């Protein structure tokens, strides 16, 4: 084989070789997301919006770590506004870096049966080895005439 | 000493000179003495009861004559409010839009609107406001703009086609503690006595409650008069037969036709709700009430029988007391 043909073959195969090395180091999961070395696994903030994409959380409160989110008990406590239509709410989670959520939130969700069947979402860490299931504890305000 | 390459470049340049002269002369010769241009100024869907606005500009070279008349022929005669301005607009040096009277007020004759020029002018930019009639709903419209000069020349320009929406629009309906029964079929707000006469047409009840409780924000609400939502109709005694179950979906959209926020000195996004938006809005599983509606909120609605879909915009909801103003866009689906 001529020397320049050899050189070209080596150069062409180099990116393939490097690519395979990279993918071996950082594999992707079934969703095509990078699996990393991070083992942190928690929800950092949470929001619940209605059909007008405005918050339905009472007093427009921000639900964040230590203020509605309990990472030990794995709960998210949410008080919703009086009259919130819980059949059509859009939960929005912020997770620690590289983590993902199961099941995926794909749009408006029915939380109306929260008393019998509280919504549960599992956070999976970046290394996909730690799983923590969070329960969304909803509370509705009711009007009691005085 | 000039080398061969330089000589070739000079030769090429010399050859180009007559070509450039020839083409520039040709452009001058092809410029017509009498010209017209038109633009459509109004945006969004064309809805019956609203206007379509154009600007029609005509000009003739000063030596060739002066303007005699301008007219617009619509494929469907406009509503009586249709008019062609007899003032020509231009932007003054200070940036202010300035109008100059150039002719007699327009005359509408069938589907033709005409202005006769009285001023000795060779250029004018006239505005045309076509008031969309009810009979144009769901049809396509065309316009022919034309002008005649004193030398007998005529220029014309066709604009369109423009689709006229099938929806209806109603602006600035007042709601209050007594005027609180809303009919989407009639696009009207009734009192309890009036609602009792047309119970099958009442789709929505407006109410205001200030519970003065930290945990409950009710304020202005729009609630279907259905049996399942008594909880959200506190203190309301519905007239006999008023029991329709209307689906309501809150939205943050501020339709430009209804909101007209620029009139309040606010920024009005060029967002318009069209027939297709109403037709395709998914209202399944939507509730039958909307609480704490404030000024500039919006709602999608669907009547119980599915005949009408609508969008209500809260133009104004009084602060701390009952009453306000709403506007409606409505489409007959079936």
Q: In a 3-state reduction of DSSP, which class is residue A83?
A: coil
Count CA atoms closer than 13 A to B69's CA, side-chain side.
11
Q: Which residues of B touch A88 (CB under 8 A)?
A: 249, 285-287
Q: Give the pair of three-digit tokens for residue A14.
A: 């180099």
- Least CB-CB distance to B211: which of A50, A53, A143? A143
Domain's final residue, options B113, B141, B163 = B163
Cis omega (within 30 of 0) for bond into B261 = no
Q: What is d(CA B242, CA B200) in angstroms, rounded to the nearest whole number?
A: 6
B148 lies in the same domain as B174:
no
Per-residue pLDDT, B7: 63
Count Cβ atoms below 10 Å from residue B219 Cβ, excluding itself: 19
Residue in B with minimal Cα distance to A51? B250
Based on the fold, state whether residues B137 and B215 are members of the same structural domain.
Answer: no
Q: Which of A58, A85, A143 sits opposite B287 (nearest CB)?
A: A85
What is the rounded average pLDDT of the residues B151-169?
A: 95
Rounded to two decimals, the ipTM of the complex is 0.72
Q: What is the C-alpha to C-alpha distance for residues B165 and B143, in angstroms, rounded to an integer?
A: 17
DSSP line for B208-252: EE---BTTB--EEEEE---GGGGGGSTT--PPTT-----EEEEE-
Query: Does a structural domain hold residue B4?
Result: no
Q: What is the mean pLDDT of residues B104-108?
A: 94
Give the model's pLDDT for residue A19: 53
**Residue B208 and residue B96 share a domain:** no
pLDDT in tens, chain A (146 residues): 555 556 665 655 655 555 555 555 679 999 999 999 999 999 999 999 998 889 999 888 889 998 999 999 999 999 999 889 999 999 999 999 999 999 999 999 999 999 999 999 999 999 999 999 999 999 988 776 65
* Same domain membership, residue B207 and residue B100: no
Cα(A130)–Cα(A42) distance, integer angstroms: 10
How many angstroms separate the CA of residue B213 from the nearest CA in chain A?
8
Residue B215 C-alpha, separation from nearest chain A C-alpha, in angstroms: 6
Q: Is the pLDDT of residue B39 over 70?
A: yes
CA distance A19 to chain B (A): 46
Same domain, B152 and B241: no
Residue B206 preceded by cis peptide, ω within 30: no
Closest residue of A to B232, CA-based? A83
A53 touches chain B (CB under 8 A): yes
Both tokens of B215, joined, read 């945990």
How many contacts (CB atoms, under 8 Å) link A and B? 48
Stretch among B70-74, B79-83, B154-158, B209-213 having the lowest mean pLDDT: B209-213
User: Token digits for A60?
Assistant: 């427009």
Q: Give yes or no: residues B259 and B119 share one domain.
A: no
End-of-domain residue from the set B127, B142, B163 = B163
Mean pLDDT of B103-108: 94
Strand partners, B243: none
What pLDDT is stored for residue B28 in this prediction?
Answer: 52
Residue B221 lies in a domain: yes
Asked if the structure places residue B26 within a domain, the reply is: no
pLDDT digits (tens, 9 = 90+) for A116-132: 999 999 999 999 999 99
CA diameter of chain A: 96
Instruction: Specify the DSSP class assigned to residue B64.
Output: G
> Which burial class, exposed, middle or buried, applies to B2 when counting CB atoms under 10 A from its CB (0-12, 13-18, 19+)?
exposed
Whether residue B40 is contained in a domain is answered as yes
Asked if the structure places residue B1 within a domain, the reply is no
| B250, B236: one domain | yes
Same domain, B58 and B74: yes
DSSP code, position B61:
-
Q: Which residue of A has its CA nearest to B223?
A: A83
Q: Is residue B253 domain-resident?
A: yes
**Confidence at residue B273, expressed as pLDDT on a 0 to 100 scale:** 96
**Length, in residues, of chain B:** 334
Phi-psi region of B177 (alpha: psi -120 to 50; beta: other; left: phi over 0): alpha
- Looking at residue A18, its pLDDT comes to 52
When divided into structural domains, chain B yields a total of 2
CB contact under 8 A, A87 and B285: yes
Judge residue A19's burial from the number of C-beta atoms within 10 Å of its C-beta, 0-12 exposed, 13-18 middle, 19 or more buried.
exposed
Residue of A nearest to B250 (CA): A52
Torsion angle (degrees, nearest 10) of CA B259, B264, B268, B274 = 20
Is residue B325 in some structural domain?
Answer: yes
Q: Write the residue in A53, A58, A85 that is nearest to B252 by C-beta.
A: A53
Q: What is the rounded CA–CA span in Å between residue B280 and residue B300?
A: 11
Q: ∠A140-B299-B274 over CA atoms, to 5°?
A: 150
From the list B250, B285, B298, which residue is nearest A50 (CB)? B250
Task: Name the A residues in 67-126 with CB < 8 Å from any B CB.
Answer: 81-83, 85, 87-88, 110
Query: How close B313 gets to chain A, by Cα (Å)?
Result: 13
Q: Stretch B25-38: mean pLDDT, rounded?
A: 75
Please report which helix (H) or strand (E) contains residue B188, including its range.
Answer: strand B188-190
Q: Which residue has the higher pLDDT, B7 or B59?
A: B59
pLDDT band at B1 (very low <50, low <70, confident <90, very high): very low
d(CA B245, CA B240): 15
Q: Is the dihedral of CA B99, B104, B107, B113 positive or negative?
A: negative
B64 and B149 assigned to the same domain:
yes
Tell me: do B142 and B184 sit in the same domain. no
CA angle B326, B327, B332 (to 5 degrees): 130
Domain limit, last residue, from B112, B128, B163: B163
Give yes or no for residue B14 having a pLDDT over 80. no
Q: Are residues B150 and B225 in the same domain?
A: no
User: What's the mean pLDDT when you consider all of chain B?
Assistant: 90
CATH number at residue B126: 2.60.40.3550
The whole-number pLDDT of residue B227 equals 81
B159 with B172, same domain?
Answer: no
Q: Average pLDDT of B170-198?
A: 96
Distance CA(B302)–CA(B185), nearest Å, equals 11
Q: Structure tokens of A101?
A: 């959520």
Residue B290 included in any domain: yes
Closest Cβ–Cβ partner in B217, B251, B285 for A82: B217
3-state helix, strand, coil in chain A (%, to 5): 20, 35, 50
Q: What's the average model confidence in pLDDT over B211-229?
A: 85
Would you call A58 an interface residue with chain B, using a CB distance cutoff of 8 Å?
Answer: yes
Domain that holds residue B250: 168-332
Q: Chain B within 8 Å of A61 (Cβ-Cβ)?
A: no
Provide the pLDDT for residue B211: 81
CB B142 within 8 A of CB B46: no
DSSP per residue, A31-70: TSPBP-S-----EEEEEEE-TTS-B-BGGG--EEETBEEE
CA B31 to chain centre: 36
**Gap between the Cα atoms of A51 and A60, Å rounded:** 15
Cα–Cα distance for residue pair B308/B185, rounded to 1 Å: 7
For residue A94, the tally of other CB atoms under 10 A from its CB is 14
Q: For tokens 């327009």, what's the residue?
A: B106
Report pLDDT for B217: 84
- The beta-carbon neighbor of B216 closest among A52, A85, A143 is A143
Higher pLDDT, B53 or B228: B53
């Amino acid at each position: 084989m001529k020397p320049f043909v050899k050189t070209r073959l080596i150069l062409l195969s180099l990116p393939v070789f490097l690519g395979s090395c990279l993918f071996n180091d950082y594999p992707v999961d079934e969703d095509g997301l990078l699996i990393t070395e991070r083992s942190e696994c928690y929800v950092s903030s949470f929001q619940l919006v209605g059909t007008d994409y405005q918050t339905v959380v009472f007093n427009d409160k921000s639900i964040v770590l230590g203020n509605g989110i309990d990472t030990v008990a794995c709960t998210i406590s949410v008080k919703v506004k009086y009259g919130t239509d819980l059949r059509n709410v859009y939960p929005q989670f912020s997770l620690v870096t590289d983590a993902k959520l199961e099941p995926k939130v794909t749009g408006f969700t029915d939380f109306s049966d929260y008393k019998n069947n509280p919504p549960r979402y599992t956070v999976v860490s970046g290394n996909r080895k730690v799983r923590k299931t969070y329960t969304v504890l909803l509370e509705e305000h009711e009007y009691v005439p005085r | 000493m000039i080398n061969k390459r330089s000589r070739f470049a000079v030769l090429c340049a010399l050859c180009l000179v007559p070509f450039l002269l020839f083409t520039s002369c040709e452009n001058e010769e092809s410029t017509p003495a009498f010209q017209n241009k038109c633009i459509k100024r109004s945006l969004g869907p064309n809805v019956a009861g609203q206007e379509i606005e154009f600007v029609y500009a005509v000009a003739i070279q000063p030596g060739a004559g002066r303007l005699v008349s301008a007219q617009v022929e619509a494929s469907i005669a406009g509503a009586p409010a249709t008019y062609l301005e007899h003032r020509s607009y231009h932007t003054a040096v200070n940036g202010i839009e300035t109008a100059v009277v150039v002719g007699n007020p327009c005359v509408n004759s069938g589907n033709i609107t005409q202005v006769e020029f009285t001023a000795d002018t060779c250029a004018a930019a006239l505005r045309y406001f076509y008031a969309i009639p009810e009979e144009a709903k769901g049809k396509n419209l065309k316009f022919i703009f034309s002008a005649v000069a004193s030398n007998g020349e005529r220029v014309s320009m066709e604009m369109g086609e423009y689709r006229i929406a099938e929806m209806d629009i109603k602006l600035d309906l007042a709601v209050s503690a007594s005027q609180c029964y809303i009919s989407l079929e009639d696009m009207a707000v009734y009192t309890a006595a009036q609602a009792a006469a047309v119970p099958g047409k009442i789709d929505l009840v407006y109410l205001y409650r200030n519970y003065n409780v930290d945990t409950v924000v009710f304020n202005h609400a729009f609630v279907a008069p259905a049996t399942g939502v008594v909880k959200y109709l506190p203190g309301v005694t519905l007239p006999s037969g008023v029991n329709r179950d209307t689906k309501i979906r809150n939205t943050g959209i501020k339709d430009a036709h209804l909101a007209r926020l620029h009139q309040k000195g606010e920024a009005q996004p060029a967002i318009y709700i069209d027939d297709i938006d109403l037709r395709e809005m998914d209202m399944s599983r939507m509730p039958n009430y909307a609480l704490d509606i404030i000024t500039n909120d919006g709602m999608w609605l669907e009547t119980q029988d599915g005949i009408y879909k609508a969008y209500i915009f809260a133009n104004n909801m009084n602060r701390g007391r009952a009453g306000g103003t709403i506007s409606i866009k409505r489409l007959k689906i079936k």
